[in-house]
Structure 1
Amino acid sequence: MAKVTIVGAGNVGATAAHIIASKNLADVVLVDVAEGLPQGKALDMMHMRSVEKFTVNVTGTNDYEATKDSDVVVITAGIARKPGMTREDLLGVNAGIMSSVIDAALEASPNAVYICVTNPLDVMTYLAYKKSGLPTNRLMGMGGVLDSSRLSFAVCEKLGCMPEDVVAWALGAHGEGMVCWPRFTTVQGTPITELMSEDDVEAVVERTVKGGAEVVAHLKTGSAYYAPGASIAKMVEAILTDSKEVMSVCSYIDGQYGIDDLYMNIPTRLGKNGVEEIVEFDLTDEELAALRASAESVRAGLANLPE
């Protein structure tokens, strides 16, 4: 049986664990610094096992020894921005957390595929890359699957179509610098640019970019976790089943689309080796310029990384 470790037993990590277990994909280890939190959530999920009839085990721990020889390690650990904190403050705190987590996880599972979820995503994934020395195929970030799911939702809301009929592409930076590709976003194979007005396309893109903030505005305390948890599980499933599915993943870009030495959401084929291929779409000059501008916004974030 495959083994997946999820670092961080908060809402995102626990939701991902729940979905991975419910799909019977792998045994799951939840690890967290908070004593009792991962153990309690894992036990609750095991009590659920007889209801949902899954057969994998979910365990909780404060010790990385229990995560030994994982096939996939997902890192959700980090703090959310609190009132009065700048993004640079957040970056400093989460950079410290990411550095200590990647060291401990790597020691226990040197051959695993690593998925970073901690924000600011593109910067944290690059930091993990520099800190860990992992080959780029075994280190990626989750952001593009989530952003694309929000684009798909906005399209469905606007056109009244079903989710299974939509293929949506949201790429670039995970955040305000995100880029959507309406020309490649389709409903039953037809681009949304042919199905709605220019204003409606713009509105759908705007709703996608602000999707996370829209959730936060409703919740008032905390941020999204159901869609992020499901997006993690989708990536884990693609890796463990060697599906070779192409999705938007925060992958290392080394020359593709004219972008160098950067982690950013880009069409990526996932399989048992992690990143199997960066897939290059045939973009217009305007689409390429938007993607490269998004890359520069990520580079600006990297400049704020603590030494």
Structure 2
Amino acid sequence: MNVLVVGGGGTIGSTVAYTLAVQQPTIDLTLVDPRTDAARGHAIDLRHSQCHAAHAVGRPAFDGDRPGTVSAVDPDSRTGAETDPTLVDDADVIVVTASAPRSPDSFERGGRLSVLERNLEIAADLGAWFADGEPTPTVVVANPCDRIAHRLWEASGWPRRRFLGYSLSETARLADELARRADGDVSPSDVSCPIVGEHGEHMVPVFSRATVDGEPISLSADDREAILDSVRSIPYDVIEMRGGADSSRWVTGRGVALIVGRLLEGGTDGATGDRGADPVCLSTPLSGEYGLEGVSLSVPVVLDEGGVAEIVEWDLADDEREGLEAAAEAVRASLE
């Protein structure tokens, strides 16, 4: 199994690649990035990390299986990575983290939109490259991911089910916030509150479906607003604490790796082989679902080996549906 990481020389791309190498040590990883030396350096380091299979401490982690390969492709070699469809054809899953350099504007709340114009251009170029390859499930991490996923879909001509915009970090942050606010010893694994809408200011927590330890919870309007404000703000707090050259890469890296793992397993749980009964909220192009079209938003989806197997239409509370419609208007307006 091969995962192509487009933007593998950057912070997020290399973190995703490392997380995949740890969680799925038998897969093959291919890193593509115009920052050739950075991509090569990460590939060498990741390849060496797989060589821990050579000693007694590391060998058990590989269960006796042969470690996967890690390589970096120079965009200036062969016919040029950006125009070589074989890289796409060889991939079972593509992860897109390629992004324009972040400016100081991106370090403030709402900063994902600061790279919108340039990242839409990158997405159009990547979509033109993808168009010559075999349609492949593609996890879009580059921000603002709803817009980038939509532009990639339009430029590629691929079926919309192939595109998944990553937005699970907010769900993880929300679970942490709810667990900390709950009475008693509550683990985030006992918390469920999906998020639909935009990966950004127009995210919409589905509080009407929120549960703790399987039981519905009731939150006041003030509590909901405070929780939402915290989830919106915390990634920028992390940037301020760690510095603008860094990001919330650990939560993103693990979340993306989990999605890729589920896709590689054909939408089933790798441990049990069972298809996940519960959908997960990821951004995908809509064509009438929830009464929306011409836009990509996070909605509940069921996954299979081809990407989105089904978009599930939940009954939303009035305010949640209004929030989803507002998210659609905001995303659509910035693509016009």
TM-score by length of 1: 0.89
Identity %: 30
Which deviates further from its counterpart, 130-139 or 208-217?
Answer: 208-217
Aligned to 1:7: 6
The one of 63, 66, 74 aligned to 1:62: 74
The one of 235, 240, 243 aligned to 1:217: 240
Aligned to 2:98: 77
The one of 173, 179, 185 aligned to 2:210: 185
Give the unaligned 5+ runs of structure 2: 53-57, 76-80, 269-274
8 Å contact kept, 1:73–1:112: yes
8 Å contact kept, 1:73–1:105: no
Paired positions, count: 298
- For 1:158 and 1:272, how far apart are their aligned partners in 2? 37
The one of 83, 95, 100 aligned to 2:120: 95
Shift of 1:163: 2.1
Q: Which has the larger radius of gyration?
A: 2
Which deviates further from its counterpart, 117-126 or 51-60?
Answer: 51-60
Q: Provide, for residues 200-243 of structure 1, a one-character-per-residue CA deviation record: whole Å limited to 9, x for no partner.
A: 33322221122322222222313221111111111111211122
Which deviates further from its counterpart, 182-191 or 196-205?
Answer: 196-205
8 Å contact kept, 1:81–1:87: no
Aligned to 2:319: 286
8 Å contact kept, 2:135–2:159: no
Shift of 1:100: 2.0
Shift of 1:191: 2.6
Task: Spell out the pairing of 1:42-53 with structure 2 (5 A cutoff).
Answer: 42-51=43-52, 53=61
Aligned to 2:159: 135
The alignment status of 1:126 with 2:150, answered yes or no, reads yes
The one of 170, 192, 205 aligned to 1:147: 170
Amino acid in structure 2 at the alignment position of 1:60? A
Aligned to 2:257: 233
**Aligned with 1:227: secondary structure?**
helix
Shift of 1:277: 0.6
- RMSD of the TM alignment (CA)? 2.2
Shift of 1:132: 0.6
The alignment status of 1:170 with 2:195, answered yes or no, reads yes
Amino acid in structure 2 at the alignment position of 1:293? A
Aligned to 2:230: 207
8 Å contact kept, 2:112–2:143: no
TM-score by length of 2: 0.82
- For 2:118 and 2:319, how far apart are their aligned partners in 1? 37
8 Å contact kept, 1:7–1:30: yes
- For 1:186 and 1:77, how far apart are their aligned partners in 2? 36
